Structure 1
Amino acid sequence: MTKTVTFAGDTHSLALGQRSLAPDATLHPLLPVLISGAPISGEQHWNYPLDIAFDYAAVDTSLFDQAPLAGLARWAPLLPPLDPMLSFGEGGTPLIPLSTAATSTELPVFLKDESRNPTWSHKDRLNLCTVSTAVRSGAKGVVVASSGNHGISTAAYAARANLPCVVLTPSEISKTFLAMLKAYGACPVPVETAHRWPMVRAICEQAGYHPTSNLTPFHTGHPFGPEGYKTIAYEIFLQLGRVVPGAVVVPTGYGEQLFGIAKGFRELVTLGLAPDMPRLFSVEPSARGPLHRAVQTNEPMAMVEAGETRQYSIACTASGYRGVLALEAGRGSALTVDDASVSAAQAVLGREGIWQELSSCAALAALPQVLASGLSGPIVLIGTSGGFKDPIEAEILPVVEPSFARVAEHVKANSGIDLRS
């Protein structure tokens, strides 16, 4: 009999543990969270990421008879244990049909509008899972390195958990983002990009904080985060009348959302609810595109130069192995689009009455490449965030010296949070 993993006040979960995505698929206990990926062994030079293993044989498939409404706790058996007090209406986002004038195809094309989440981006699905983990781990606070949506979402869930939150940001930050971070009670700390991940680790080790962002050069990420993204696949399946789309097109940074969506559809197949997975397409800025590079060179991960692009939410220079696995599972392709085509797509969506962040419009910009693959419909484009998230104005903040002592002083002076306590 499967032992259900529960914690005081948690929702019911059939999670079994953290599973390495290395070929050996080693299963580790659910806690402590392996925030730096699976342990390195042998001649291995980098950490494999992890995901969460579940007892699928114990899943009651009537779980999928419900309507895809807001609140991820409805999917609790297939998620890591959640703190039921943290959810505030994430998920249940609409699937919006786009006109043939917008898509230039007679195939049905939909936009899954993730800007309808509580902090107006897809990151809320991830942070319900990661901040729930911080709570049950007894963390003193949470820390994240982010230039936008991820930091805002982490700050909101940390506020609901009554945990202090430190957000390591670039020195140039949107005034909108800065206002949102401060509204949630988080402390933004401007640190040069090269020092952000090492400083996250220092705050975790010296202040007892829990990270919601990555700690490794090749992105492994938080093992619990992509589990929240699985629910996008569940919702699409139900919103289409228990039909698997022909393709799902995902604006992609480190590949966490891409991996989560792939896993969600794979679970529907495992549970006998769907015959097959959709084709999956990642979309990155052509000025960077590390996942595209990894796929083209048949490597598990890749790093690229930081070319100039305005698609800042997906402007990554390092890829993650989870993205490669997602495309393999979904028989997919790694696509790239330039800023001009994405700007044109943003204008097209605007004429549909939909205002999306520029990076979010990469999915529509890539649609001609997707259609060239000879797919049948329906096709679902993932819209990650609302248009007001674009950095129309920026406020220049003085950079803080990248040492724990200086960062701790800055946090104490600007928010009253004591990283040394």
Structure 2
Amino acid sequence: MPQEPVSLATGQRSLADPAIAYPLRPPLTRGCPRTGTADLAYPVEVDYAYDRVPAGLFDQPAGPDLARWAPLLPPLPAPTLGEGGTPLLEACGVYVKDESRNPTWSHKDRLNRVAVSAALTEGAPGVVVASSGNHGASAAAYAARAGLRAIVLASAASPPAVQSFVRAYGADVFSVPVERRWPLMREIVDRLGYHPVSNQTVTHTGHPYGPEGYKTIAYEIFVQLGRPPAAVFAPTGYAELLYGVWKGFAELRRLGVAETAPRMFSCEPAAGGPHARAVASGAPAAIVDLGATDAYAIASPVGGHRGVRAVLDSGGGTVLVTDDELRAAQRDLGREGLWQELSGAAGLAGYRKLGAAFDGPVVCVGTSSGFKDLGVESPRTVEATTFDQVTANLSATPAAGRRG
């Protein structure tokens, strides 16, 4: 058996008050117990012995397997599926970090390598997740790889392709009304001992180790660009991704590896936008009414404090994008060879809508494959048996063209 990578994680610290610290174990999956109220839950984050980070850690190439960043991650006993090391590509006038290249075709693999490792460390019989898409499929895959059971509390409205994806890993999948998912998950945690890898609190806290997996996106972008970008635009649901990427760049600056850190921009559906509401009102987190949107992967009425911190601490901002703006960004990415699900195109849509100029490169995170979208099971096809039928139905819009 290979030796477990060495982690320099030392404990957990409250995002409400950094003076409040806890041991590294158990993971505080219901947020900071000393600062939470009936209306607001504050997350905790993992702290490290930063003075012991080995020199040269960021000199290595950005390849797969998060264990390459083990000193700055919680312990990783769960086996890898080859997550990470995703390409950074020039497209549509920006750099796109294409997270659809992960093992289950989404950024969630980074979170679940870390969260399922926590389940193993805690001796849990399995993991439970409330998800109708990427998170459920990823959690099921990493649980299967680690020899754990998985319960996925999903929605009947989730795409059939995604439901099949989840079941392929042997997970127990249940269709649960939205208002019952979090309460039912808490019961499963409390009565069966399953380890929760998604949220259980009134405002979002999620798994405290989750954003640690997302930090590795920042490490990779830094290695691939050779410098921090000027700005990062990220599709934002609960903002674990946004905060994780911000924390990674903040750590690079703290360690003296980089001199600057990018401005972070949350890109949410205009039908909701709890993080935009919280930032605009000065609140630590917000809950909003959610309207109709096809960007189901990031459609959430519930926000959390992580997204607010990432935006404010980085000097960034919030952007609300419509489904039409998302579709235009998705279409243009496709014409450059990158098929993102509608939610995954939110970064590019947000960058375009903001319309700001930056003194340096801009990175838009593309979170997941277009195979996860609603309606993918019903593609448009044109029948043809003759050359004339082919030429009569050729697309009027050419591809973006070859890059040098």
> If the length of structure 2 is used for normalisation, what is the TM-score?
0.91
> Any conservation in 1 of the 2:321–2:353 contact (CA below 8 Å)?
no
Instruction: Tell me the amino acid that sits aligned with residue 96 of structure 1.
Output: L
1:112-261 equivalence runs, <5 A: 112-241=97-226, 243-261=227-245
RMSD between superposed Cα atoms in Å? 1.6
Shift of 1:60: 1.3
Pair 1:138–1:9, CA change in 2 (3 A): farther
The question of whether the paired residues in 1 share the 8 Å contact of 2:38 and 2:202 is answered with: no
Q: Give the CA deviation at 1:161.
A: 1.0
Aligned partner (choices 55, 59, 65) of residue 65 of structure 1:
59
Where 1:34 maps in the other structure, the secondary structure is coil
CA-CA distance at 1:44 after TM superposition: 8.1
Give the aligned partner of residue 326 of structure 2.
342
Partner Cα distance (1:333, 1:124) in 2? 26
**Which residue of 76, 79, 90 corresponds with 1:86?**
79
Sort the Cα spacing of 1:24 and 1:66 in 2 relative to 1 into closer, same or farther, 3 A.
closer
Equivalence map 1:88-103=2 (5 Å): 88-98=81-91, 102-103=92-93
Structure 2 residue 378 is matched with structure 1 residue 384: no
Which of 271, 282, 290 is the aligned partner of 1:298?
A: 282
Q: What is the alpha-carbon distance in structure 2 between the residues aligned to residue 263 and residue 283 of structure 1?
A: 18
> Equivalents in 2 of 1:25, 1:176: separation in Å?
46
Superposed displacement of residue 173, structure 1: 2.3
Structure 2 counterparts to residues 258-407 of structure 1, below 5 A? 258-372=242-356, 374-392=357-375
Residues 352/185 of structure 1: CA separation in 2 closer, same or farther (3 Å cut) = same
1:21-36 correspondence to structure 2 within 5 Å: 21-36=15-30
Q: Structure 1 counterpart of 2:120, which letter?
A: V
For residue 86 of structure 1, report the CA deviation from its aligned partner: 1.6
C-alpha displacement of 1:382 = 0.2
Q: 1:119 to 1:41 in 2, by over 3 A?
A: closer
Deviation at 1:24, TM superposition (A): 4.4
Q: Is residue 87–residue 98 contact of structure 2 (8 Å, CA) maintained in 1?
A: yes
2:299, 2:125 → 1: CA distance? 31
Local SS of the residue matching 1:366: helix
1:47 Cα shift? 2.5
2:326 touches 2:349 (CA, 8 Å); kept in 1?
Answer: yes
Provide the secondary structure at the position in 2 that maps to 1:262: helix
Contact preservation (8 Å) 2:35, 2:42: no
Shift of 1:363: 1.1
Structure 2 unaligned spans of 5+: 378-404
Give 1:81's aligned amino acid: P
What CA distance in whole angstroms lies between the structure 1 residues aligned with 2:38 and 2:172? 37
**Which residue pairs with 1:409 in the alignment?**
none
Q: 1:275-313 CA distances to partner (integer Å, 9 max, x unpaired)? A: 111111110001110100001111011111120011111
Q: Percent identity?
A: 53
Give CA deviations for 1:88-132 in whole Å, capped at 9, x if unaligned. Answer: 11000000011xxx34xxxxx110000000000000000000000
Q: Is the 8 A contact 1:61 1:271 kept in 2?
A: no
What is the DSSP-based 3-state SS (H/G/I as helix, E as strand, rest coil) of the residue aligned with 1:263? helix
Q: Secondary structure of 1:173's match? A: coil
Tell me how far apart the structure 2 counterparts of residues 26 and 12 of structure 1 sit (CA, whole Å): 25
Structure 1 length-normalised TM: 0.87
In the alignment, the residues of structure 2 paired with residue 49 and residue 94 of structure 1 have an alpha-carbon distance, to the nearest angstrom, of 30
